[in-house]
Structure 1
Amino acid sequence: MKKKRAAVITIALAAASITQHHYAARYDKTPKNTSKLTGQQWLNELLAGHPQHFYDAMGMNKHVFQALLHELIKHGLHDTRHVSAEEQLRIFLYLAVTGLPQRHLEE
């Protein structure tokens, strides 16, 4: 039951973040997020990089992240048109670890 609840919470937070970003993009035409890395590229860099850097950003080891991702996918987490399941989990974990407001997660 806890696993299903965690999956639902993760999906809800990711969906809320995506919805807010999509809404804001339609009304503010000034470029805001100008990083050369996409969210997926940043995640790929973390996964390929030093284990401590990954732990500091995600609050868990790489193998735990992969196991959690696999479990969430089994319970319904899936890629959307623009955001992979892996990136959705990354957004949620980064939020949980840093406590930053959603607008900081956009970058």
Structure 2
Amino acid sequence: MSMVLVGRRLSSDEVKSVTDDPAAVETLIYGDVEDDDAEMPDPQLDLDKSWHGIHYALTGTAWQVGLGAGAAVLGGAEIGEDNGYGPPRLISAEQVQSIAAGLRQLDVE
């Protein structure tokens, strides 16, 4: 097993839910594991194992988080439990705007 990156956009109610109770992040990621009929939430972004190469291309480092585009993969605040590969991360709306501005400045060269 290896680390993969999946992402979801959260509504303001969902953000409030996980900031008020970080344990609620598990339900947002995995759905209601107690309900056998419940479906797992669909990720809106699934980088699978390519996340680390993308992070390196944006930052030139294996693990350091930069500003702007450099926070696109490993940025944000840790929230919830670490289930073996690090806890989930929450990127604020302001951070998303900064990341988007940084990504717009990149060119193919």
Return the TM-score normalized by structure 2: 0.31
Higher strand share: 2
Larger Rg: 2
Return the TM-score normalized by structure 1: 0.31
Q: Which has the higher contact order (CA 8 A, sep 6+)?
A: 1
